Structure 1
């Protein structure tokens, strides 16, 4: 075109070089501003996509690291639960130590062990609650796999239908089994021979016997206690107690008496009349004597005489019977008291009788009369209780008085009852609790009784009131256990270590509950009545401690693995990011130096272009 501006070759060359310098300068300024030498695929596709791959992998691993951190917290929660449960197990062991120190058969020791058993059960419940509270973020590593067993409802219902049986169940189940439960025996009652011998010696009695047959509606397994009270030479009493029933017998009170009063003296023409009076408290075996003209007549109070509760009737009975003894002799001709008449008192004087001679002349009109009464030398006591138990013994006054005040006190007699409850598992192993066993040796008791097997503990409440009905009928039933919940993995913790899930770890949940699949710590058996029950609890706690230590070690190992992988992931992320940075980031020093050189080159280019332009201007001067 005619109007086009034409540049000289030198100007065009300088201008091109200046444009290239400006482009390079802009690129370096952009790199220095962003810090990257590759900001897009256009800047370097190979480096850009390689760096992007490395950054994406680092991002994926960072996400996994968050999961590892949560896994660490989950494991720590389980570990803390185990530590706290171990503390509870230690407390339970302390209770057993106290129980061992109170192994006596006295009421105080039995009560103490029962209290300790209740506390033991409380700790067991707290272990389960603590294990349940040790979950984190939906996972509980100490609650096990969820597998559980229980006795079937049908067999439980059948067992509870047995007379005297209630609350039948199976605890501490380790596997399915069937238990046959049978109640047998006659219900015959007896007393422990050693206790009876000790009581006779301590209480000054002999012929002590505990007998009878357990009532089918009011039976009990309670001990018999015999307490003696009183002072030497004074009234004594014995209190016999069984369960809630108590009987008190007083004896040797020294209040019974036989006295005589002259009602009419014997004079010429009138015969003597004297009155005999019976007073005081009268007991079986007390003796009453009337002596007429040197001949004595004695009557001993019988059980029938003292059957009446009121003293007046007892006194009348003695007066009547003593009078009859004398009358019988007086009716015999030629006897020492022939010629005497006896008349019973009337009205308010039924405790008296009169003796009159029929002679009215000479010395025969008068007679000598003496009366006396004395306590029984021995006293036979027989007491019946609503349970069917009969306690009988004889109190010997001489023996009791010889003991002095040491004869006072209480003796306890363990009652034996011929009733047994036997449980047998499918392997033929039998466990029996019998009312005839000594306490501390699997003795059957009122209330809960436990029968321990390797597959579980059969528990049922026995009601002593009507257990004889079941025993007489040889009542029996089967209790079966079965799996109620299948094992699962919902509590297992899976941790992913790399982005393609080719590396990871699964932390299986462990069971530190008290169930048979876990620590296998059962409720206290039989209120720690027997040493064997405490021994079983001790063995369970020892096993629980071992399980807890193993579980703690397993969690610690997994925690270390996860923590190590987490640390590795964190470090490896840095490696990946460093690699990506090496591919894309600019060297600030080098880029700065290059920019400075380009700026210098740019300045030179501008100067060169100006010189080229001046060369053209010099031509114009020619015109």
Structure 2
């Protein structure tokens, strides 16, 4: 066979066919494996680079399992913290129940002393009244004589009269018919206003009393509502009816209504009259006279100049008929002014005292005062005097008593006290009474009009302090060392000035910083005891402190020990048991908050590795969140929850534990976020590495399929060409035969 020689054409065809077969085999290998680089022979650089990328991707993928476990460990710890937080909140609820339950002691440790006559307002002991002097005032006496005041001096001043102009017509008298007053005579519908009350003129005659509204009464041709408002009927009305209406409105006269009949009687001032064809009108002793209305109507009674439009007629009370005696209208008390005495109120009214003082209110003798039996009074300015004011002040202060019965008040000076009075120099001498120090404030001009803004008074108040008698604790000192961590107290009993303590409120203010409180009963027994928060502590004990001292210490008893309330302590003991059950659950919950053997609430440390070299790591240090780690412990019955202070200490520990849990939950949340971020980063990096490796080694299947098809065609053509070459050689051999 070695002597066989192939032609050049055959040899070329065979060579082409072999090359095509090799290329086809390579293409089919790439299609079957999906890679264009299957070994280092294909492309050493791409092969080894892809292998490195695949190796790193595999290493990082192996770390993902550890990262996932780390996430579960953190979440297990976070779940444990959530449960621990709920348990701590339950423990807080139990502690709050202890605070809200009945006090654990029927009585607290205390020291006591009895001070005769001591009250909540004045701890100094038995006191006697004292008097205060007002500034001298100059009103005028009840007879209109100028000079210094006395008890009969009128509060509202002295009534004054004023004569109007000539009334229309001639020979006018009180009985003159209204229809005879000339062209300007009143007509139906006309009105005039007197001191805020209304007089109305109506046609016809006065109605029958049986038809009048309840509370109204008729007198002549005048119908009044009993409150100063009147209607005058024109058919038979006279000038006297109009004058009566003006007097009722101004308070000069008062009315009593019985069965529809109105009976008029003098009140204060002088009843209106007609003199020399003119009306002579009077103010009351409580207010000036002011009449307003249409000028045409007023001119019919000579009360203006006859001009058109609205008009007025005025008359003023007088404080003094002579000038230069220091008396002025400013000294007349204004209506609705008030005086406030130790929480009681005196009100001044511009009216005459009512005819009746029923419905629980009492008229004080023959004076112009009505009192409610509780120290509050009304003084009526029409007829009211300085004596009336002093009586009302004494009723409010307790210097005089005025119990009310059947509409009357029986006045009497309180034993051991003195009634207020007017001194010869015109000064008011005000008694403090025995019940408490006196303080008077006011509205309107009452203080200044009565001289109470001078001497012992100011622009806003007037004060009179009682005098303490011997045997009290005035000037004595009282001290307590620091009690249960409070601030030591050292006080001096006195009149409340210069830092001294006078009232129970003053004493409690001083004791409050030392966890002590004071109280006093009606017998003068002063008790200083431990505050509610420290009901289990004994004053002056070695454990609690609070030893009593000072010059008043000998007056006080030895400190008593607190007396436990059995039922209350049993209730608190049950709460201790409930609390301890929760503490046990906190312990077991912290132990169970593990995953795969790692417990971040049990003190374990979690270390996570994030890259293949081990250089990128995160260490999470665990905590010990058993009760001790949270600063909590089991309680002891009879020691814990026994009073509010002890319970508050437990609550404080629970609040600290809650803060610790919240802080650790925040730290775990931050670490969990970091780990989850690194987990996502690792997954994405693996994808990047695998993609890079694929780009270096993977074949393009579309390209390789096309190559395979082309090589198959090329192989077919090569086979055909080889066949043709063989056919040509066969023809030559045939000729040789």
TM-score range, shorter chain: 0.3 to 0.5
What TM-score do you get using the length of structure 2 for normalisation? 0.36
What TM-score do you get using the length of structure 1 for normalisation? 0.43
Structure whose alpha-carbon radius of gyration is higher: 2
With a CA cutoff of 8 Å and minimum separation of 6, indicate the structure with the bigger relative contact order. Answer: 1
The structure with the greater share of residues assigned to helix is 1
